[in-house]
Structure formats: structure tokens, C-alpha cells
Amino acid sequence: MTLTKEIMGKSMVEAFRFEASKGPFYLKRCSKQHRISLPPTFYCSVETTNDKEEKKKMMQQTVSPLSTFIEGAESRRDFAARKPAPETAKVTVTATVTIKNSKHVENEMMSSIMLRHFETFNKTMSEKGMVMQLVSTEVDPRKMEPKVSKNAVLECMKDMRMGSPRTTYKVQFEIDSDFGLPGAITVVNKYEKELFLEDIVIEGMFHFSCNSWVQPENHNPEKRIFFSNKVHLPWETPAGLRELRKEEPRQARGDGKSERKHGDRIYDFDVYNDLGNPDKTRQDSRPIFGGHQYPYPRRCRTGRPAPVNDQKAETPVTAFNETYVPRDEVFDGTKMESLDVERTKGITRNLLPFFKTCVTKCGAFKQLSDVTSIYNGKTFCESKYEAVSNKIQAYLDDHFKFNTPNIIRGNNSGFCIRDEELGRQTLAGINPLSIKRLETFPPKSDLDPSIYGPQASALKDEHILLQLHGMSVKKALDEKRLFILDYHDVYIPFLKGINAQEDRKAYATRTIFFLTRLGTLKPIAIELSLPHGYPNCLSKQVLTPPEDSNSYWLWQLAKAHVCSNDSGVHQLVQHWLRTHACVEPFIIAAHRQLSVMHPIFKLLKPHMKDTMKINALAREALINAGGIIESEFSCGKYCNHIVSAAYKDWWRFDMEALPKDLIRRGLAEPDQTKPYGLKLLIEDYPYANDGLPSWFAIENWVRTYVTYYYHDALMVQSDNELQTWYSEVINVGHADHREASWWPRLSTPSDLISILTTLIWIASVQHSAVNFGQYPYGGYVPMRPPLMKRLLPKKDDPEYEDFMKDPEGYLLSSMPDLFQTTKYLTVVNILSQHFTEEEYLGERKDLSDWSSDPEITESFYRFSMELKRIEKEIERRNKDPNLRNRCGAGIPPYELLMASSGPGATCRGVPNSISI
């Protein structure tokens, strides 16, 4: 029988149920208690095996039919039926141990081979190895301690295979004949280098998914603890594992002191106090985000010493001091190598733009063809290169040319974004989360006039009346035909500071849309606002669709400012805050408070993968002082101020659920006669149309999972690990909102289902919706500039004459130059990538976590099949000519919420977690 069948086998509990500690909700799931004694078996020495095909099957397994469970159960029954040895006898059981190879492990192995030529080799090697001890689920009644095996030493350096991704070994444990069932393994690494322990399988039946680095004993003297893949609620924990269950998350919590070092696996909370560099220059200083003045979600603590000029901060990361994340959260070698390849390619692509912009001062775009040349390679291959061979030309294209973004394939009708495309992208672009229904006209501000001055809108009925197809403004409001992108209150508090920066000029924009009879949105008015009392400028001006040449170009400039506002809010609020930053506290608390045996930890495990590492990389290069976001977006050094304000005044976890978010924005109304109980006010809203089936698929899967383990409210309320996890998320991870009344309660299975569905939704579908289209939808800067450098010209401005002579040149000079553009494209291209080893929603490479709960695995199989059905439905919608927001001439299909994808910037695919 294959390992896959063993992993997917029927419940081990049914075959031989041990006596669990009887907590308040102890449920005996089988009528007869079983106990086994493990027989003497097999091996006398460590052996190496390389069953690659078998291992490959196990690693790639995602779902399996129910039939595999029965065969696995029969095998375990045969094992249990073996005649036990005498009570006083010692028996030997065999474990298959898989270690994933890495470069530094292979280097140590080479050193060991060299030592064979020295007399001290045998003595040196005898003192090294992986020391393992098997722990029973039972307690020795004489000692009142868990039954344990004798130490087994795995000398993996002797037999490790160079160049192989992993090596499999056989190891024996000597135990008493009445040992009972194996429940945990402790490991001490006596080598000088860390080792990646992938998994351990005892007798082919008891699976321990480790997937963790084991540090050398001189780095961390504490024994690493790995539990079998059996799910245990706290009160079901076998007596022999109770103390180890408490010890494992205690190790992850650490002591909350000292600087974290590479190799630590300690999860702790801290504020964002490492974004600035006050020792460098005064301009590089940044406030601490995550306190009373600047609320912010908490991040992982690094404990680095404070810089000289700011004792409350941590020293920023340097090229020689990477940001700490717990060791198990670091990218695996394959993904890190792929990321490095993309970064190297990005640096290469920016060499010539840097030279042209910063050295020869020729980086300004003079005409539209200068921008499009970025995608055809002509920017980098001027006339003197035309005579070179085809090979060199191909090399330049591969290393310097950017791929043409989806958004301009067949849709490049000129300069800026077309009106209908602006409306379409608010529903089916990279930021479909900001559009709201307009409930009052003119729109109102919530800003305090005593601080920010009068904030009454300049919009009037006459501005939009002619665009309403004969309707009055009141009727358009009553029939719910008016919608708005409102960035007024987001930007106004920071505009003076933003516009005081070099080469930064921004407005706070409001854009009014009218819902046409075709189901598309048409922009009918744009309001541009500046802070009250802004020198030499009207604080507010309104532009409407053009009627002549002058108004045409001013309208294009206004739309460019709208898209710049939208780019900033998308990147800072919808993307960074609502997914990356707000999910990290849930992940940290899960590792600190939930045992790896806990069913909720096992459910969330794939949805937490790589998030802490990608967030750490963001603090190194994206959201830090002078980082890419500050450099390439209009907000500049005020980026994190905007994030903090949005978190303080607007973010609510209870409103992150898709149905509630749609209702809050006025895009949907409760209606039980409609699919999913919601009536969409814009029927052709691709983000909502594709998102709702995925939301309810996740909810159904989570409901099945939760109700399987939690039968009533009392079970949820009495689960101390679960309650402590949720409490720490609120009171520590989101401490600035700990007094908020909107936090969902965690008292019933329904509460837990809602919380987990929301969390999984954010980490998978929501993040994919706002991330993987960044290059395909935003990779053409004239249509979606991340920053603007000039305000609209006024007739009495000296530059007005330049605008009249060359409006296209004026517009181009308002946007990023060549080097700024290629830097921006490099980053969004990397962020839009899927890597080879990605695991998508509905996939799990290792289902052994539920090997003893076949009902759960079968439910996951149904969940996976439902996601495939949803993909087929999305494909059908993308071909429906009646759905004009996703189908039509030059319109790319909306595929961002299709779960599967290949590698690359595919503009589709929903990974399980926020992994890039």
C-alpha cells in the first residue's frame, strides 16, 4: 500500500481508540477501547532509501476518494491484531525520516567527508547526530510520566545524497512492549548546522508532519517537539501528551526579551518602530506606528537595539542584517531563488533607465511613443544598436523589455484611460473595493471643519444633470444609479505635506459615476480638492466630460489624478492594510496560543504560510522610509500616516466579510429570493459576481469543519486555547481597537465559522483580487500613474502657455519619468508573480493532518471540486457578450478570482495565503 493511502487512511481512532483525558465534552467515538503493543520488527542499523516516486506521490497528493480510507483502516487493524510481546520485553519499531537538503547542510556533509581522513573522525561523528525520542500517548503509572523510548540517533551526514532535494532514512526506536500508541517525537540536533526535518512516519502508519528547521543544540538547547497528525481538542489530549502540548506553544512565545537571532522560532508582537532611520538624516526619521497617536496592527517583534537618535525605535534593516522572522516562516529555497531571479532581472531592466534619467538627463517622456517603447525595447535599442546580431537583440529584449500589460492589449486607444474603461476598472480592475453607491448629493465630508476648514462639496446639480439621460438628480439617487469613488477625506488631512515634497502634487478627488442601461459605469463629474486656504489656488474645482480641446486635456489630467489617488488607496489601504498588515496578528497569536494538534491550527496552517516573511520584506524595501512605496507614490513619506488613519477611522474586522462589505458600500442589499441572499445593485460587477460563490464555498467548507469538532456553544466557550488565541488577537495584535464594540463574539460554533471564513477569505481570495493584477492592470503608467508631479494649469500660471502649446507633453511631464516608471513596473511585476511551488485554494499537498478524520478529508474534496466548478462558471461569464464589464472588444477577461494558475504574472490564481 502506498504512503498516500496510509495518509488518507480511515480513522486511527476507530481502529484502536486510546483512553483520552476526559474533559467536560469527552465523546467516545467508538464503542470499544483498544490498546496495542508494538511488536518487534525489522532493522538493526540506519539505512538510506530513495523512493523518489513514492515520495513524489505523497507530496503532490491533494485530494482522494473515500475508498482509500477503508483500505488504510484495515492495515491498521492488522497491525493492532499482531500478538503482543511479553510485558517485560523490549521491542523495536522503525521510523522513516525525511530530511530536506539545503546548501549549507551539503557543505557540512562535505566537511564531514574530509574528516574521514583524520583519526579523530569517528570520535567527532559519534558525538553528532539527530537525537530522537518517541513519546507515548500513555503515562507510566509507576513514574506518572509519559512513556518514552530510548534515544535513537540519526547520523544523517553519513548517508546524505548530494544534489538530491531530500534524503529518506530508516531509524529504530527501542520501546517497552506496553508502550501504547506513539503521540510525539522530541528531537535534539547535535550538528553544528540547522536541518530541515520534513516528516517522520512510524511503521508506515503514524505520520508526523514536521516541515520545520531544527536548530543546533548550541543555538537552542530546548528539545523540538513534533506531534503525530492526530487532531486533538484540548480536553481530548492523551495523558502522555498534556505537558508537551503546553510546552510547544510556550517555546514559540519565548520570553519577550532580547534581540531575535536567525534561527529563532519565537513569535511575539511589536509596533512598527523600524521603518525610519533617524541616524541617517532627519528626513529619514519616521514616527512609531501602532500607538495612541498612530494606530496600526502589530507586527512580529525583532528586538533589535535602538538607534542613537531614537531610543523607542529599532535600528533599521541593512544589507548585512535582514529582518527577523521566526525560522519556520522563511521562504523555502526554491521560492527565494525564484524571487531573487525576478529581483535581479528588475535591477538589470533599470540600469539603462537610470543612466538615461540620472546621468544623461534624458529620462523625461516627450511623447507617447517614449512610453510604449518600454514594452517594445526601442527605449534601450536606439539606432546605433540596429546593426547588432539577432542574438544580442534577443538578449536585450529578454533582459530590458517589459511585457505588454493586459490592459493595453487591443485597448490602447490613445493617451489616458478612456471614460468607459475608468468605470469598468472600478468594478473589474485591480481595486474593485472603493466604489460606493452615492446616497446623498452633493457628497459630504466627515472631517472636522474646526481642524480642516469648511469642507462643503463644490458639486452642484447642474454639473451632472445633462449626463443623467433625462433623469433628475433625485430620481437618479432614488433609483440607485449614482456611484462614487470618494478619496476626499483620505487625502485632505495630508495634502499640504504631500504637495510640499519635491515632484509631488496631488488633489483629493471625488468621481461621480452614472450606471447606464447597459450595466456599465460612466464618469460624469470629477471634483478636485486642495486644503482650505491653499495658496494661489481654488480649494475646489469641478470638471465634467469635455466639449472642446481645452476641456478634453483638462479632463484627461483630472482622470490621471483620480487614478493616482486610486493607486495610492489601493496599495496602502485595500492591499497592504486590509490583507498583509491586519492578518499578521492572527498568525502570530495562532503560533503563540494554539497547539499544532488543535483543529483550528490545522485548518489555518496553509492560510498562514509565508505571510510573515513577505511582510518583513515589505518593511525592508517597500513601506520603509525611502522605500519603493514612498518613492513611487504621490503620498511619499505620508504613506503610513494614511494607512494609520484608515485603520483608526474605517477598518473593522466584522466588515471584512464579503457580503457585509458589499452591503456597507451600498453595492448590495439583503434579498433572500436572490442567489446567496443578496441583490447586487450593479448586476455586472465581476468582483462580486465571482467573489460571492467563492465566499460561500469557503463558508460551507468551514461550517462542515467546525461543526465536526464543536457540537455546541459550551465546547467553543470552554476551549481555552481557542479563546486565548482570539483574545490575544484583539487585545495585543489589534491593541488600538481592543475597546471597539464591533469585534465579533466567539461564543458559538456559528461565531467561529464567521470569524474563520472571514480570515480565510482575506488571506486567499481578497488578497488575490487586489494583488495579482497589479502589473496586468497597472503596468501602463499613463492609464494608471502612481504619482503626479503637476496640478492642473490655471490661466494666470506661467506654465499655462506650455499646456496650450503641447498638452500631451504637459500631461507626460506630470507623470513619472523613465527611471521612476521602470522602477515601479519592476516592483508591481514581481508582486504579480506566482512561483512554481505555489499552493492554491482547494489544494493541500499534505492531507495527513486529517488522516484519522475521513469525513473532513472528504469534505475538503468537495470544497476543491466546488472551486473547479466556479472556475468553469467564470470562464462562461467571460464569454458572455451581455456582460460588458468583462467581455468585449479589447476587454481582458476577469480571471483574478479563478483559483488555479500556472507560474508567472498570469492575472489569475488564488493562493491559500498572502505569500507575495
What would the pLDDT profile of 6-30 be if each residue is shown by its tens digit?
333 333 333 333 333 333 333 333 3
Q: What percent of the chain has pLDDT over 70?
A: 83
Cα–Cα distance for residue pair 26/718, rounded to 1 Å:
12
Rounded to whole angstroms, the Cα distance separating 195 from 198 reads 9
Catalytic residue among 767, 829, 856, 870, which?
A: 767
For residue 529, how many other CB atoms are within 10 A of its CB? 25
pLDDT at res. 303: 81
Over residues 681-739, the pLDDT tens digits come to 999 999 999 999 999 999 999 999 999 999 999 999 999 999 999 999 999 999 999 99
Question: Which listed residue (431, 565, 689, 771) is catalytic?
Answer: 771
Question: Which of 207, 463, 570, 580 is an active site residue?
Answer: 580
Whole-number average pLDDT of the chain: 84
Q: Is 591 a catalytic residue?
A: no
Question: Is 292 tagged catalytic?
Answer: no
575 in catalytic set: yes
Quote the pLDDT of residue 338. Answer: 81
Please confirm whether the linkage preceding 693 is cis (ω < 30° from 0).
no
Choosing from 175, 374, 430, 916, which is the catalytic residue? 916
From residue 727, alpha-carbon distances to 504, 595, 654 in Å are 42, 16, 15
Q: Is residue 333 within a helix (H) or strand (E), and if so which, with residue range?
A: helix 333-354
Looking at the whole model, is its pTM more than 0.85? yes
Annotated catalytic residue within 488, 561, 575, 737: 575
Between CA 590 and CA 729 the distance in angstroms is: 9
Catalytic annotation present for 737? no
> What pLDDT shows up at residue 40?
33
Q: What is the pLDDT of residue 332?
A: 78
Instruction: Identify whether 570 is a catalytic site residue.
Output: no
What is the predicted pLDDT for the residue at 42? Answer: 29
- Does the structure show a pLDDT above 60 at 390? no
585: left (phi over 0), alpha (psi -120 to 50) or beta: alpha
Asked if 588 and 712 count as a contact pair (C-beta separation under 8 A), the reply is no
The residue type of 677 is G
The grid coordinates listed for 432 are: 474593485
Residues 428-437, mean pLDDT to the nearest whole number:
97
Which of the two residues, 57 and 248, has the higher pLDDT score?
248
pLDDT of residue 399: 60
Q: What is the pLDDT of residues 578-603, one digit of tens each?
A: 999 999 999 999 999 999 999 999 99
Provide the percentage of residues in the chain whose pLDDT is more than 90.
Answer: 62
d(CA 651, CA 640): 15
In our burial notation (b when 16+ CB lie closer than 10 A, e otherwise), range 450-464 reads eeeeebebbbeeebb
Strand 269-270 relative to strand 521-529, pairing:
unpaired
pLDDT 10s digits, 531-568: 987 776 778 999 999 999 889 999 999 999 999 999 99
Longest dimension (CA), the chain: 102
The grid coordinates listed for 700 are 460551507
Residue 37 has pLDDT above 70, yes or no: no
Calculate the alpha carbon distances from 665 to 444, 485, 569, 660, 916 in Å.
15, 11, 16, 9, 28
